[in-house]
């Protein structure tokens, strides 16, 4: 019989661990939950703490009833698949994914791994699940149905810059939801009779180059379509946008304090806390495919008057009245 090398044996063992996540746990018997972030440890710290809050509120005290293990891709989408395998090798019973790109990575690396989505593009339109009410397979969680939100953000940008005929939109090139986002942008552009030029980016250098491109169009403003990468680079992005004299509207509440002119978004921390309910149900025996996917019900409009002043813009009173928060 031919002997197997140590390296080959290690690879076989890794495949076994990755393909049988339901049997993996620590020696103390406490189940392990993985969390896969496209962003950095710093940019995702508040979301991770909210996830811990959600676990606690559902009776899962960390270190007692569950162990949480996190991995961060630092905005490099190519790292997500190997990091997902690391989480499986560490013994994860299920993986919480932040963003659609992370969902796809876990699906690719670990087809049998239960997934709890912590915010994603429309999972039906992107082909991740068959329906919101009965997703099937191993995936459930919370989805941000991006089409309607994108249309609302375009409306807000048009209110802020009513004379503009052209806007720019930045997408992260690795996001599987981009086709859905592009369709939503096209629908909104037609409804408002404006042109929206789209640019896909990946690195901070590409993002800042895209902002310079938008200024040359010239674009009346920029829509930053939500992605964890943009959250990690938020300070640099909005400094560059201000330098290019570009009004910006985005979909993450954290962007407002970083310098976005306006944000219209669900509460990402509330979504993370809600993920704890799904994790608890699955660890207690529920079938992920039978757990209906939830959607946010509350959205916040934040206006940054400091940014408006720096850009020489006057925010319409009708928009200020609707704002949930105004940064002065």
Are the C-beta atoms of 194 and 169 separated by less than 8 Å?
Answer: no
Q: pLDDT, tens digit, for every residue of 72-111?
A: 999 899 999 999 999 999 999 999 998 889 999 999 999 9
The average confidence (pLDDT) of the chain is 89
**What is the predicted pLDDT for the residue at 126?**
84
**CATH number of the domain enclosing 10:** 3.40.50.2300
Q: Indicate if the pLDDT at residue 21 is higher than 70.
A: no
**What is the predicted pLDDT for the residue at 2?**
41
Q: Which residues span the domain enclosing 257? A: 146-267+299-327
Q: pLDDT, tens digit, for every residue of 201-250?
A: 999 999 999 999 999 999 999 999 988 888 889 999 999 999 999 999 99
The two tokens of residue 18 are 């990755």
**Gap between the terminal Cα atoms of the chain:** 76
Residues 21 and 134 grouped into a single domain: yes
Residues 259 and 273 grouped into a single domain: no
In a domain, 219, yes or no: yes
Residues 319 and 173 grouped into a single domain: yes
Are the C-beta atoms of 139 and 292 separated by less than 8 Å?
Answer: no
Selection from 292, 295, 275, 269 nearest residue 55 by Cα: 275
What 3-state DSSP class applies to 207?
helix
pLDDT category of residue 187 using cuts at 50, 70 and 90: very high
In degrees rounded to 5, what are phi and psi of residue 98? -110, 105
Q: pLDDT, tens digit, for every residue of 114-155?
A: 999 998 888 888 889 999 999 999 999 999 876 678 999 999
**What is the predicted pLDDT for the residue at 10?**
43
**What is the predicted pLDDT for the residue at 146?**
65
Residue 326 parent element (H or E): strand 325-327
Task: Report the 10 Å Cβ neighbour count for 179.
Answer: 14
Residues 307 and 193 grouped into a single domain: yes
Q: Cis peptide before 299, with omega less than 30 degrees from 0?
A: no
In a domain, 151, yes or no: yes
Residues 201 and 310 grouped into a single domain: yes
Domain count, the chain: 2
């Amino acid at each position: 019989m031919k002997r197997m090398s140590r390296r080959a044996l290690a690879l076989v063992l890794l495949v076994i661990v990755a393909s049988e996540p339901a049997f993996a746990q620590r020696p103390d018997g406490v189940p392990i939950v993985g969390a896969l972030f496209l962003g950095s440890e710093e940019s995702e710290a508040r979301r991770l703490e909210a996830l811990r809050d959600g676990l606690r509120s559902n009776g899962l005290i960390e270190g007692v009833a569950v162990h949480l293990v996190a991995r961060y891709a630092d905005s490099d989408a190519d790292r997500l698949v190997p990091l997902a395998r690391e989480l499986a090798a560490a013994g994860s019973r299920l993986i919480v994914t932040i963003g659609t790109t992370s969902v796809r990575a876990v699906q690719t690396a670990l087809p049998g791994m239960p997934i709890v989505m912590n915010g994603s593009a429309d999972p039906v339109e992107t082909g991740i699940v068959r329906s919101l009410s009965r997703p099937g397979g191993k995936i459930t969680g919370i989805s941000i149905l991006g089409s309607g939100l994108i249309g609302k953000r375009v409306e807000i940008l048009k209110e802020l810059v009513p004379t503009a005929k052209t806007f720019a939109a930045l997408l992260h090139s690795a996001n599987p939801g981009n086709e859905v986002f592009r369709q939503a942008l096209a629908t909104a552009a037609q409804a408002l009779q404006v042109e929206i030029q789209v640019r896909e980016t990946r690195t901070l250098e590409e993002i800042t180059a895209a902002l310079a491109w938008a200024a040359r169009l010239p674009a009346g403003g920029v829509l930053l379509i939500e992605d964890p990468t943009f959250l990690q680079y938020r300070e640099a992005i909005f400094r560059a946008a201000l330098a290019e004299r570009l009004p910006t509207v985005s979909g993450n509440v954290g962007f407002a304090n970083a310098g976005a002119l306006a944000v219209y978004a669900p509460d990402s921390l509330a979504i993370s806390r809600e993920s704890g309910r799904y994790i608890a149900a699955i660890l207690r025996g529920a079938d992920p495919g039978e757990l209906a996917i939830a959607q946010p019900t509350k959205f916040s409009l934040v206006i940054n008057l400091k940014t408006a002043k720096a850009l020489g813009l006057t925010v319409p009173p009708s928009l200020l009245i609707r704002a949930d928060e105004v940064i002065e």
